[in-house]
Structure 1
Amino acid sequence: MNSPDEQHRSGFACLVGRPNAGKTTLTNALVGEKVGIVSNRPQTTRHAIRGVVHRPGGQLVLVDTPGLHKPKSLLGQRLNDVVRDTLSDVDVVVFCVPADQPVGAGDRFIARQLREVRAPVVVVVTKTDAASKKQVTEQLVAASSLVEAAEVVPVSAVRGDQVELLEDLLVGMLPEGPPLYPEEQTTDEDVERQLAELVREAALEKVRQEVPHSLAVTIEEMIRRPDPKRGDGELVEVHALLHCERASQKPMLLGRGGEIIKAIGSEARVGMETLLGARVHLDLHVTVLGEWQDDPKKLNRLGY
């Protein structure tokens, strides 16, 4: 319980940065569990993901957004729109700048966007575990010059370095208010979207070349029934479609003798069973949805 003179704080913090700046890894570390998929491929995150941090004196709702970038497709434009819409309605902005890469045009582009935002900005130099002390020091100086910031904090989400300090800082910047989500809730992502993202995450690790940017996943059906192998358990049948843009990409997802699609299914199933707390039968199929990244109707169908 809070003391009478200690008010509860609650609000939203939006994480922004160029693609592959470590936003989702940091979100997962702050929440204390996986709420978004992670990959070393740019533009892994394709919609705003909310992760909820619960504390005795406050509730911090993190909004992990797609990487702001120069769009090359209608999908890219829509991802940027997601970020801009989110920025207009949060209490604090967390600008992620990776320690292991020089500040570049993408970072400066985002900094210009943030000049129009009313919320205070905290600059976080991420991935300090992947950089030398000299690199981190230089990046702190470079990041400080990008935007007028309330604080500049170096963090390693992988090692947990300064994650708690960042959490304290962000909660302290929130307005006073009651909790916004129930105590047991750590994300507002619906289950089917989480399942689809687990399949996409596994696929991103198994395929190369141009396929990752051209890949989308939808859950076509999810059936729950008693598990015949476990008297008090549940079996969940999940039927998913992997959508690629060109016929030449389909064999890359299937692999010789179906070895790639089987590997994707095996990896995704582990995450699904953890998420659902049940045994999962996963059925995957690959389909070609021509040039979906630039087709408004297809983007709507895929949930973008």
Structure 2
Amino acid sequence: MNTPHRSGHVAVIGRPNVGKSTLTNALVGAKVSIVSNRPQTTRHRLLGIATFPEGQLLLVDTPGLHRDQGKSTASAMHRWMNRAARGALEGVDAALLVVRAGQWDEADSFAYQALHQAGVPVVLVVNQVDRLKDKSALLPYLAQVSEGREFASVHPISALKRKGLEPLVKAVLGLLPEQPAAYAEDEITDKSQRFLAGELVREQLMRLLGEELPYATTVEIERFVVDGALLRIGAVIWVERDGQKAIVIGKGGERLRDIGSKARMQMERLFGAKVFLETWVRVREGWSDDEAALRAFGYHE
């Protein structure tokens, strides 16, 4: 008897910096969502397409879900990310609530409540179990976080080391409707190469700059030209102040060259082509709290 093919949308939800994008990339088998150790690296809602013989997971990777602080204290960027995270719940067939092993706080409870209210089956994904020093604490922790909450199943995993993913995939596919795949087997995301190029530059900004500055930066791809076997890409890094521009460029342009070099290598790996990348840094004051600027830079529903 043939196993029915299942396919559907699965929201990947959790508080910032618990490994949602790492999990999405691990399931897709390719880098479609950028990763850094800083919270709120993901700004856009992004679809990762994970195809298996038994079915297809359409993984909706989102910005971290957090309490909305209200218009007076939250920037336009903050409000945009919360809308993107909440919008990911519309029309999904199931959701993955990603938490960090050994931790559960108000932000995790807030994310769970949002999913519970949405009325979709919730799979608890306990990430980074490899980092637990006391492995005997895992079972009591799982019992504690499951008490009084409805989970379709619970899965301890390590997204980074790709451990525990097979049982997770099987469980999630079981929650999806029987229907054919929505995308071809070789498709990995609904985003364009142009969008991914901008994200790969921004990933290096998140990784290489200080604590606060990455949140004052965004990337706009001004040029994306296919020139035979070569991709010619021009990227503008936008900051909010002249002092920030100097930090991004670095002494003698060294930091900007480093950002460009690392981003170019990631692009070549993802696109399977040689890349000629040019980068510039420009200033637009207060762009992250300006709705019109956000729309111009691609932050729209």
Aligned to 2:166: 164
CA distance in 1 between counterparts of 2:18 and 2:139 reads 17
CA distance in 1 between counterparts of 2:163 and 2:239 reads 38
User: What does residue range 107-256 of structure 1 map to in structure 2 within 5 Å?
Assistant: 107-132=108-133, 133-145=135-147, 147-226=149-228, 234-256=229-251
**Deviations, residues 128-157 of structure 1 (Å, cap 9, x unaligned):** 112221443343234313731111111101
User: What does residue range 1-304 of structure 1 map to in structure 2 within 5 Å?
Assistant: 3=1, 5-71=2-68, 72-99=74-101, 102-132=103-133, 133-145=135-147, 147-226=149-228, 234-304=229-299
User: Structure 2: which amino acid aligns with 1:201?
Assistant: E
Aligned to 2:71: none
Contact 1:217 1:240 in 2 (8 A): yes
CA distance in 2 between counterparts of 1:265 and 1:59 reads 34
**Deviations, residues 188-209 of structure 1 (Å, cap 9, x unaligned):** 1111110000101112111113
CA distance in 2 between counterparts of 1:158 and 1:135 reads 21
Contact 1:242 1:284 in 2 (8 A): yes
The secondary structure found in structure 2 opposite 1:182 is coil
Please state how far the C-alpha of 1:52 moved relative to its aligned partner.
1.2
Contact 1:97 1:143 in 2 (8 A): no
TM-score, normalised by the number of residues in structure 2:
0.93
Aligned to 1:229: none
User: Structure 2: which amino acid aligns with 1:111?
Assistant: Y
User: Structure 1: which amino acid aligns with 2:250?
Assistant: G
Stretch moving more, 126-135 or 182-191? 126-135
User: Structure 2: which amino acid aligns with 1:21?
Assistant: V
Please state how far the C-alpha of 1:75 moved relative to its aligned partner.
1.2
Identity of aligned residues (%): 41
Please state how far the C-alpha of 1:167 moved relative to its aligned partner.
0.7
Contact 2:48 2:58 in 1 (8 A): yes
CA distance in 2 between counterparts of 1:178 and 1:77 reads 36
Contact 2:116 2:122 in 1 (8 A): no
Contact 2:205 2:259 in 1 (8 A): yes
User: Structure 2: which amino acid aligns with 1:137?
Assistant: L
CA distance in 2 between counterparts of 1:86 and 1:198 reads 22
Contact 2:260 2:277 in 1 (8 A): yes
User: Structure 1: which amino acid aligns with 2:8?
Assistant: G
CA distance in 1 between counterparts of 2:141 and 2:282 reads 44
Aligned to 1:230: none
Contact 1:14 1:90 in 2 (8 A): yes
CA distance in 1 between counterparts of 2:122 and 2:288 reads 32
**Unmatched 5+ stretches in structure 2:** 69-73
User: Structure 1: which amino acid aligns with 2:64?
Assistant: G
CA distance in 2 between counterparts of 1:146 and 1:84 reads 23
User: Structure 1: which amino acid aligns with 2:233?
Assistant: V
**Deviations, residues 85-141 of structure 1 (Å, cap 9, x unaligned):** 2212100010001115x3112112112212211110011111111222144334323
Cα distance change, pair 277–106 in 1 and its aligned pair in 2 (3 A): same
The secondary structure found in structure 1 opposite 2:176 is coil
Please state how far the C-alpha of 1:6 moved relative to its aligned partner.
2.9
Contact 1:123 1:143 in 2 (8 A): no
CA distance in 2 between counterparts of 1:15 and 1:108 reads 15
CA distance in 1 between counterparts of 2:155 and 2:207 reads 30
Contact 1:19 1:67 in 2 (8 A): yes
CA distance in 1 between counterparts of 2:223 and 2:64 reads 30
Contact 2:31 2:270 in 1 (8 A): no
CA distance in 1 between counterparts of 2:183 and 2:230 reads 29
**Deviations, residues 204-250 of structure 1 (Å, cap 9, x unaligned):** 11111311111110100112224xxxxxxx22211000111222211
Contact 2:96 2:125 in 1 (8 A): yes
The secondary structure found in structure 1 opposite 2:88 is helix
